[in-house]
A and B are shown apart, each in its own frame.
Chain A
């Protein structure tokens, strides 16, 4: 039994490939927990970053700098009355959030946080990811239809049309990235998520910079399509607040609504990780082709710990800037405690075995975080597209562009 547990630690494959169910379950729990924390953190970060873009402070009351606000919100949603419209189709209404959440979480089975840090490595990984994540539209249509109300219905119709049309452009961009993986001596490409990153490692280039500007255009198409795919601003028509109040989830409240919320953010993280895996080198650290050697390895391995120490330092700066008053004592202590926690994590990341193990995860998460920041930035900057314009962008701009890039990539690859 002990051997069963420890044998995996010495292997260099994912638990799925090693056939180690126990570790697979552990990974699933870790990803589930990590994702929940990430969604909570995203909630707080989105509110704070958006607030600072809009010359306001955002949540400041619940916990120091509003750090406990997402938890308070989650609690509020959990204890809210569970309302189901009398005219709703009860079963479908009940199923819809589950479908959306299930698809949003299932895709993380193949997301490679590192060379061995994935639940499993399927040979059809990217296909699985794109396929399963597109299933969420089913849940949205179910939600809109089951609500038996006009606004959700229009939201669901918009959503299905939008997701289907952007999936095509997205697929074309993905295919052009997959074509790039086949540029090796054997000429064999791969659909495996881990294989795609390894191909970038072998070719010493992130695919976003490959065949300049083709890789960049494909990435650009994907980056737009993924925003549309996750129904976020400026493509947030299905839940356009000013038009459809809340779109497909107008009739949902409490915990059911929070499931949609959870699904939306995990879908954002999921598509961001596709983008990172396909174009931004997945778990590979920056400049892994040029800045090589033991010294550079050492320097880059310090960055995870240092960045956490920097977060801790920001917390302590906040502690010093807190008003020196009795009423703020709890908040100051809380912030200091949070700083100590982050600092502790930072120091832990310096310890040699950990230092080399978490590197992949750190770089992957950092790239995903940048993508998530872009999501927030878009939301703070752009007005919303109108439905016909959205379709125009999808079919008349992104689709021809995607086909062009695909053909050119194939052509350049053959030469």
Chain B
């Protein structure tokens, strides 16, 4: 255990406490002169290749048009929308309650977080407080979901970089989380676990015991993943210095989540604007320093351990009581608008809801972390190699269901 606690991230965690971003900059022009024609080689044309929408490593239906000089990336263009379902428009024709399951379909690997964000936003609009027990259940399930999301990220990211084995290990362990979800609400992926005003279901018998068992089961497994990758020479070479992004660039682009934290900004909405019951728990925000793929990897690995810490605490002191606040049967918020955001596994997930006083929202705008983070792709991969594009897409941890909505 001690070995993992000695990682740089962990040391930096306290050192950078409170620091709002480093001032480090990356010189993005020296290695890349777009207008300069290389006369030392044969007169070569740029190669434009089309990666996706059907490609094994674009995590869904992302299409990236790559402009290459040999293997070097001169520029990229993301073409999105292949999975567009008009979720935000659908919301305008559904009641607040009816729209709740739709949000699960955006970031389908972190459906619980999506549900939490939506429910809390509507609760804020209604001026309702979920009871403490509901908040604790919400925290446990959301953190379990964060673990599941990070596990899926780790497996696919490693697969993209060529390590095929971690995928199976992470999926094996993610299965245990999905089993808990299934027992709790009957669904594994699109859970629809929460209701506006609290939780739909009381925990099942033995829920606490199973969650504790899971925490004990998964802690050594995370060590196992790290054993395969953290000090693996090839892994370190493939990820260190790949797709760097500075804190300033992150902030300028609105990049959030582990990507922002890996650049050295200690910004986590669970601490910055505590929601649900997060203010009750003791946990650290892992922070990186170089903002490269390796740091993002370390940050996410540490986040998984922190999530386990939160789950352990939450299960330990879960209060008794009701799981639903008093919410009218027909939800009809007063005229007004609200923005509420939570820390989803991929970054800041925000819901902006405009109410016209009817049973249906006038407008819902989702601020999806994947969509915003994807903007950074071009900046991160310019001047790097084709193989790095894959690594960076993996490290951004995008879910196309959320990018396209």
Contact = CB atoms under 8 A, between A and B. Distances in A.
A162 to B, nearest CB: 12
Nearest to B387: A386
Interface in A140-175: 150-151, 154, 158
B107 interface: no
Given A151-B49, A154-B71, A382 B162 contact: yes
Contacts, number: 85
Main secondary structure of the interface of B (DSSP, over half): helix
Main secondary structure of the interface of A (DSSP, over half): helix
B238 A383 contact: yes
Interface stretch (B24-32, B123-131, B164-172, B343-351): B164-172
Interface in B133-172: 158-165, 167-169, 172
B237 interface: yes
Nearest to B159: A242
Nearest to A51: B168
B56 interface: yes
A243 B172 CA distance: 25
A209 interface: no
Contacts of B162: 233-234, 236, 240, 242, 382-385
Contacts of B169: 54-55
A56 B387 contact: no
Interface string B364-405: 000000000000000000000111101000000000000000
Contact of B385 (A55, A384, A386): A386
Contacts of A234: 162, 234
A36 interface: no
B55 A245 contact: yes
B74 interface: no
B57 interface: yes
Nearest to A381: B165
Given A150-B49, A242-B159, A242-B162, A383 B235 contact: yes
A386 B391 CA distance: 10
A383 B55 contact: no
Nearest to B242: A386
Contacts of A210: none
B165 A385 contact: no
Given A243-B387, A379-B164, A384 B234 contact: yes
A389 interface: yes
B47 interface: yes
Contact of B164 (A54, A55, A387): A54
A48 to B, nearest CB: 14
Contacts of B387: 237, 240, 243, 384, 386-387
B234 A383 contact: yes
A165 to B, nearest CB: 15
Contacts of B160: 242
Given A54-B165, A233-B162, A389-B237, A383 B232 contact: yes
B260 to A, nearest CB: 25
A53 interface: yes
Nearest to A389: B237
Interface in A364-389: 379-389
B284 to A, nearest CB: 28
B51 to A, nearest CB: 9
A59 to B, nearest CB: 15
Interface string A383-408: 11111110000000000000000000
B65 to A, nearest CB: 12
Contact of A386 (B57, B228, B232, B238): B238
Contacts of A233: 162
A241 B237 contact: no
A53 B169 CA distance: 10
Contacts of A237: 387
Contacts of B235: 383
Nearest to A56: B168
Interface in A45-72: 50, 53-56
A243 B386 contact: yes
Contacts of A245: 55-56
A354 to B, nearest CB: 41
Most chain B C-beta atoms within 10 Å of own C-beta, residue among A54, A151, A383? A383
Given A240-B162, A240-B387, A388-B385, A55 B172 contact: yes
Nearest to B168: A54
A55 B56 contact: no
A385 B238 contact: yes
Interface string B47-63: 10110000111000000
A389 to B, nearest CB: 5
Contacts of A243: 57, 386-387, 390
A385 B232 CA distance: 12
Nearest to A392: B237
A53 B385 contact: no
A240 B385 CA distance: 14
Most chain A C-beta atoms within 10 Å of own C-beta, residue among B165, B229, B232, B390? B165
A389 B161 CA distance: 13
B390 A242 contact: yes
Nearest to A54: B168
Nearest to A234: B234
Contacts of A154: 47, 49, 71, 386
Contact of A380 (B159, B165, B229): B165
Nearest to B393: A242
Contacts of A388: 71, 385
Contacts of A158: 71
A383 B56 contact: no
Interface in A213-250: 233-234, 236-237, 240-245
Contacts of B56: 241-242, 245
Given A50-B164, A241-B56, A389-B234, 17 more contacts: A54-B168, A56-B168, A151-B49, A154-B47, A233-B162, A236-B162, A237-B387, A242-B57, A243-B57, A379-B164, A380-B165, A381-B228, A383-B162, A383-B234, A384-B163, A384-B387, A386-B387
Chain A to chain B: the 3 pairs with minimum beta-carbon distance, closest first: A384-B162, A54-B168, A242-B57
Interface of B: 47, 49-50, 55-57, 71, 158-165, 167-169, 172, 228-229, 232, 234-235, 237-238, 385-388, 390
13 contacts: A54-B168, A55-B169, A56-B168, A151-B49, A237-B387, A241-B56, A242-B57, A242-B162, A245-B56, A379-B164, A381-B228, A383-B238, A386-B388
